[in-house]
Amino acid sequence: MRRRLLFGFVLICLSAATAQGQAIQELRGHRAAVYAVAFRPDGERMATASFDHTIKVWDVESGRVVRTFTGHQDKVLALAYSADGRHLASAGLDGTIRLWDTVNGQPMACLTSCNCCVQGIAFTPDGRQLIACGETGLAEVWQTPKGIRERTIPIKPERMPLYAAAVSPDGRTLALAGLDGRIHLYNRATGQQQRILEGHADAVYSLAFSPDGGSLVSGSGDQTVRVWQIASGEQRACLDGHRGAVYQIGFAADGRRLVSAGTDGEVIVWDAGNGSALHKHRFPGKTLCVAFTPDGRHIAAGSERSTCYLLELPRHVR
């Protein structure tokens, strides 16, 4: 699971075009693999996290780095913005969760996790709590921005590594998944388990709720993306198109489309209703993370080759 060519602080932003005529920018500034990407809710800023121990914040329109956050002592594996965009959370292999003020660029807190490696984080919709999970199989509920750990939620089997966390849009349901391929759903307020979703044949690396909260999507080492109905716990679709592990998935804000990134280098945009592949694009090397812009017109994809790509989607896919 623990997964380089420019150097210095110089950013090179190259504009190019795909065979389909789509605009694509190569955002270069990291010194190692880009493992996580997240957009601020207003769409004006994008954060990337890297194996070079840093987080960079980019101006989406110009493609320039506006801020670099330092402090992590090892690879940064996860990022999340709060719903109001004022806070950014990061976590990684050093076992810490760090909170950053996006307005003044100052560090707010450094939280020492029970997990020696933190790989999944998610804010609650109101931004008052942050969920974190990692190698030791514990999910932690942190009060933000104070950085107080309220409680932990143990997963069975005990100490089973967890790689992904997601909170439903209404804040009621917490989803956790990891090495065993099962997805564990909990009542976030009480910590009581609600059900387990089974179907993946390998580890689950990414989870995301649909904007209406009715569905959950998961990406796995078994090379599939699966869509689950929350009310019944039934698997609604199995999307088979990648030829490598799926490390990142996500919904567009309109809920009509999904995007997935695989170690085969492909990013696939899917129709969330019928499961058809609407668009595919192959990037150089392994693609480790992906996200829609809030307006759904572009996707950002992070690569093992220290680059983040900003790709304009064709009109028929938007």
Asked whether residue 289 is assigned to any structural domain, the reply reads no
Give 53's DSSP letter.
Answer: S
Does an H or E element contain 137, and which? Answer: none
**Residue 245 domain boundaries:** 164-278
DSSP codes joined into one string, 156-217? SSTT--EEEEEE-TTS-EEEEEETTS-EEEEETTT--EEEEE---SS-EEEEEE-TTSSEEE
Q: Which of 95, 120, 154 is the last residue of a domain?
A: 154
Instruction: Supply angle C-alpha 283, 286, 290, rounded to 5.
Output: 70
Same domain, 137 and 196: no
Whether 294 and 42 have beta carbons less than 8 Å apart is answered as yes
Domain annotation covers residue 258: yes
**Same domain, yes or no: 168 and 269:** yes
Q: Is residue 116 part of a domain?
A: yes
Task: Look at residue 314 and tell me if it is in a domain.
Answer: no
* 149 and 170 assigned to the same domain: no
In angstroms, the Cα distances linking 175 to 89, 99, 104, 217, 281 are: 18, 22, 32, 10, 29
pLDDT score recorded for residue 276: 96
Q: Which two tokens stand for residue 303?
A: 């690569």
Domain CATH code at residue 118:
2.130.10.10
Say if CB 195 and CB 185 are below 8 A apart.
Answer: yes
Distance from C-alpha of 294 to C-alpha of 40, rounded to nearest angstrom:
8
Residue 21 belongs to a domain: no
Q: Virtual CA dihedral for 64, 66, 71, 75, nearest 10 degrees? A: -20
Q: Are residues 187 and 138 in the same domain?
A: no
Percentage helix, strand, coil for the chain under 3-state DSSP, each rounded to 5? 0, 55, 45
Q: What is the pLDDT of residue 21?
A: 40
**Under a CB-based contact definition with an 8 Å cutoff, are residues 150 and 142 in contact?**
yes
Q: Do 201 and 132 share a structural domain? A: no
Query: Tokens 């567009």, residue?
Result: 252
Q: Is residue 20 part of a domain?
A: no
Asked if 213 and 269 sit in the same domain, the reply is yes
Both 47 and 67 in one domain: the answer is yes
Same domain, 102 and 204: no
Mean pLDDT by 10 residues, the chain (318 residues): 32 41 84 98 98 98 96 98 97 98 95 96 97 95 92 87 98 97 95 95 98 98 98 96 97 97 97 96 96 97 97 92
Task: Specify the residue for token string 């292999």.
Answer: 93
For residue 161, is the peptide bond before it cis, meaning its omega torsion is within 30 degrees of 0? no
225 and 269 belong to one structural domain: yes
Specify if 207 maps to a domain. yes
Classify residue 72: in a domain, yes or no: yes
With beta carbons less than 8 A apart as the criterion, state whether 251 and 217 touch: yes
Provide the pLDDT for residue 159.
86
Within 13 Å of residue 226, how many CA atoms lie on the same side as its CB?
Answer: 26
Q: Which two tokens stand for residue 294?
A: 């809030």
Query: Is residue 132 located within the same domain as residue 180?
Result: no
Could you give the CA distance from residue 74 to residue 27 in angstroms, rounded to a whole number?
22
Q: Which two tokens stand for residue 41?
A: 């809710």
Do 273 and 178 belong to one domain? yes
What's the confidence (pLDDT) of residue 155?
Answer: 87
* CA gap 93, 77 in Å, rounded: 7
Phi-psi label, residue 213: left if phi above 0, alpha if psi -120 to 50, beta otherwise: left
Q: What confidence score (pLDDT) does residue 22 get?
A: 62
| Three-point CA angle 243, 246, 251, nearest 5° | 125
Q: What is the pLDDT of residues 232-254, one digit of tens each?
A: 999 999 999 999 999 999 999 99
Quick one: pLDDT at residue 318? 87
How many structural domains are present in the chain? 2
